[in-house]
Amino acid sequence: MEDKKISSENTCVKGAFPFLNGTGNALTDDVLVKFDDVSLTYHDKSGETLAISDLSFEVKRGELLGVVGPSGCGKTTVLSIISSIIKPSSGNVTVDGTTAEESRDKCGYMLQRDELFPWLTISQNVLLGTKIKKMKGRRDYAFALLDKYGLGDFKNRYPSQLSGGMRQRVALIRTLATAPELLLLDEPFGALDFQTRLHVVEDVHAIIKNEKKTAVFVTHDISEAISMCDRILILSERPATVKKTVNLSAIKELKPLDRRESPLFQKYFEDIWKNLQNK
Ligand SMILES: Nc1ncnc2c1ncn2[C@@H]1O[C@H](COP(=O)(O)OP(=O)(O)OP(=O)(O)O)[C@@H](O)[C@H]1O
Ligand SMILES: [Mg+2]
């Protein structure tokens, strides 16, 4: 009871007095990513495509933010802007208090396919990102993660000798080995069968929370979003704008499989489903 009182008072104090970052800009220390009225138009031979329009949202430090929306609405585009692969046409994006470009190295990407190299062992795959980025002293951390998450005995095996779920865990550990502030997950379980997905979601959720990472998780699967995330952003049809934000704080302390048992699970599902159906 006492703890709760103290922590809510602290939150108020933090909110009331944003601190100044090195550039002199005011910024609340609990926001890692901020989009302010961001729009992006792609230009190619067939013309212009307005992918996102005046999109504003925040990702708090330590938060697992889900992003759902119709196919082609601009979800991958949002991740590409955060990681500075593409620049917005207008609006402002900050990552860790600076521009997305300056924070590029703070992002780690995990995609639908695990993209492990079949000719490299698991340990070589896991260390690849650190080698490319010329990061020293990450070997022990990467190997400790493999041990901690049940892959220690597979260091010298090749990806083809692992199950799909194990390969996705290796891919996540490879991303974590480069010490990203922010994980960007773009439909990372899309290639796995339903049974495997349930278990990998459990594992990946535990890894992200144990390692205290912030993550933006794009998925088509509403149930998966509800079982993994702290908050879900529902995007409209293209051009993407925020249709609704669903706060999952009532179930966020539960593990993914336990959330599916919660009576609130179906309520969240119906709410998100209706919003996606334009109802
Ligand atoms: N490089 C590009 N050049 C031109 N148009 C693009 C490019 N990338 C994406 N688009 C267009 O922008 C829109 C948004 O694409 P995006 O890939 O962000 O959608 P998405 O929500 O991730 O889709 P999905 O759910 O199918 O993965 C689509 O209409 C797409 O055709
Ligand atoms: Mg996409």
pLDDT reported for residue 22: 40
Quote the tokens at residue 102: 């300056």
Please give the backbone phi and psi of residue 93, each rounded to the nearest 5 degrees, phi first: -125, 130
36 near 92, Cβ under 8 Å?
Answer: yes
Q: Which ligand is nearest to the CA of 51?
A: 1
Give the percent of the chain with pLDDT over 90.
Answer: 63
Crossing angle of helices 122-132 and 164-177, rounded to 10°: 30
Per-residue pLDDT tens digits for 42-67: 998 889 999 999 999 999 999 999 99
With a CB cutoff of 8 Å and minimum separation 6, the contacts of 109 are 79, 83, 175, 184, 186
Per-residue pLDDT tens digits for 91-150: 999 999 999 999 988 999 887 777 899 999 999 999 998 888 888 888 998 999 899 888
pLDDT reported for residue 110: 83
Cβ–ligand 1 distance for 177 under 6 Å, the answer no
Nearest ligand 1 atom to alpha carbon 218:
22
Residues with CB under 5 A from ligand 2 (ion): 75-76
Cβ–ligand 1 distance for 213 under 6 Å, the answer no
pLDDT reported for residue 200: 85
Per-residue pLDDT for 11 more than 70? no
CA-to-CA dists, residue 4 to 8, 12, 66, angstroms: 6, 12, 26
